[in-house]
Structure 1
Amino acid sequence: MYTAVALDGPAGAGKSSIAKRAAKALDFIYVDTGALYRTIGYAATLDGIEPVDSPEVDALLAKTKVDLTFNDKGEQIVLLNGEDVSGFIRTPEASMTASKISAIPKVRAFLLDLQRNMAKTHNVIMDGRDIGTVVLPDAQVKIFLTASPEARAQRRYKELLEKGMDVNYEDILSDVKERDYNDSHRATAPLKPAEGCVIVDTTELDFEQSVEKIISVIKETI
């Protein structure tokens, strides 16, 4: 019997980095579902397809194969039709495209089995927007990780600056708020805390404190 941890929350809450560190500490596999949607969005961008429900997106899915694999450090590698695209899907543009494409029901259905199969064959911490509500509703541990929009924008701003990118804090804050609205108001699998989840607000916590909090919630639950 494998243990599944569903970690949901808004954009920029630190889900990926926190989940990755917690998974390593617990010897779980970390599954970044946002990367899957980013990959579909990236595929659409490559083909010049608008990220809206359309026959063009249907055709794109029909010829698209997305796989998750892991390197010897346990880090997730995302493959698009056999090609590692992990380095191409982390831009602000890719983030916004992912938000739009993830609202398409057929895209969500396309990726659902891949995500569920991971939880059937590994102990996982899986992060996303609808893991506890839709993807893994029977997960043993459900956590909703959040922080204020300002705190999330500041963290993203700092992260992108450290990567040498020319970014503006107000633009990032605007993107965070727009993403929050889009994710929570979409018709399919809107962002919301899962029933019975533990809500963890990291606005006042630093990274290490956030990781410790998540690990303690997981250990107390399982």
Structure 2
Amino acid sequence: MSVVPVITIDGPTASGKGTITSQVAQALGWHVLDSGALYRLTALSALQKNVSLDDEAAVADVALHLDVSFGEQGAVLEGQLVADAIRAEDVGNAASKIAAYPRLREALLQRQRSFRVMPGLVADGRDMGTVVFTDAPLKIFLVADVRIRAERRYKQLMEKGISASLTSLLEDLQARDLRDTTRASAPLVAAADAVTIDSSHLSIEETVAKVLALWQRS
């Protein structure tokens, strides 16, 4: 039985992982795993159920019993479309906080691996190449300057009509980067065999082309 090919795309918040993952998968005709969405869905569900984000066991239990599916319009939680709700800044901050919990990461591990089906998978996250799909033939570590990431996020929010402060976004990203890179469980780090791509001064199309070229050579 042939192994299902996987391309992992890890990196910090707002580095463009989601967009690049989606476009690479579309070009290859593969499936997509937005692993961050699972953490955001867990955070949203915990907030809706008034579960304390400081209670690791309770948060892990929420993850184990998530009633979630992904459709063309995005994530559906307990029958409700929540594609926009899980992108809210408060949910993102909550997800970043709980993502440090080892019990939560273990609860979501098999759910993430279940996305690996033919013809292939492009998986986006922070530990896709280091923990979830360690045998992936191509691992990308996508980075960008934190100020550029903040400006990109600010532009996205403005285009959606959501008010935001560039200064606050920059501070939030710096705080998330610190949490993600220093947590004890699966910290954000490039896999030893990953290829780092700095998209600070690359367009989406240029970044996608780099990933596809690397895949063709792998």
TM-score range, shorter chain: over 0.9
Look up the match of 1:108: 105
Partner residue of 1:152 out of 149, 154, 157: 149
Cα distance in 2 for partners of 1:114, 1:22 equals: 22
Are the counterparts in 2 of residues 52 and 104 from structure 1 also a CA contact under 8 Å? Answer: no
Once the two structures are superposed, what CA deviation does each residue of 1:118-172 show, in whole Å capped at 9, x if it has no partner?
1145511000000000011111111100001011111001111101111111111
> Which secondary structure does the structure 2 equivalent of 1:86 belong to?
coil
Cα distance in 1 for partners of 2:161, 2:49 equals: 28
1:39 aligns with 2:36: no
Cα distance in 2 for partners of 1:19, 1:81 equals: 26
Look up the match of 1:49: 51
Q: Which runs of 5+ in 2 are unaligned?
A: none
Look up the match of 2:70: 69
Cα distance in 2 for partners of 1:157, 1:65 equals: 30
Change (3 A) 1:115 1:56: closer
TM-score by length of 2: 0.92
TM-score by length of 1: 0.91
> Which secondary structure does the structure 1 equivalent of 2:114 belong to?
helix
1:19 aligns with 2:21: yes
Are the counterparts in 2 of residues 36 and 66 from structure 1 also a CA contact under 8 Å? Answer: no
Are the counterparts in 2 of residues 36 and 78 from structure 1 also a CA contact under 8 Å? Answer: no
The Cα shift of 1:181 comes to 0.3
Are the counterparts in 1 of residues 53 and 94 from structure 2 also a CA contact under 8 Å? Answer: yes
> Which secondary structure does the structure 2 equivalent of 1:194 belong to?
coil
1:131 aligns with 2:120: no
Cα distance in 2 for partners of 1:55, 1:210 equals: 39
Cα distance in 1 for partners of 2:131, 2:166 equals: 33
> Which secondary structure does the structure 2 equivalent of 1:125 belong to?
strand
1:117 aligns with 2:114: yes
> Which secondary structure does the structure 2 equivalent of 1:175 belong to?
helix
Structure 1 outlier segments of 4+, above 4 Å: none
Change (3 A) 1:47 1:140: same
Q: Which runs of 5+ in 1 are unaligned?
A: none
The Cα shift of 1:54 comes to 3.5
Look up the match of 2:158: 161
> Which secondary structure does the structure 1 equivalent of 2:115 belong to?
helix
Which sits farther off after the overlay, 209-218 or 38-47? Answer: 209-218
1:180 aligns with 2:177: yes
**Pairs aligned (count):** 216
The Cα shift of 1:211 comes to 1.6
Cα distance in 2 for partners of 1:122, 1:110 equals: 26
Share of identical aligned residues, percent?
35
Look up the match of 1:28: 30
The Cα shift of 1:219 comes to 1.9
The Cα shift of 1:207 comes to 1.7
Cα distance in 1 for partners of 2:71, 2:215 equals: 23
The Cα shift of 1:208 comes to 1.6
Cα distance in 2 for partners of 1:8, 1:58 equals: 23
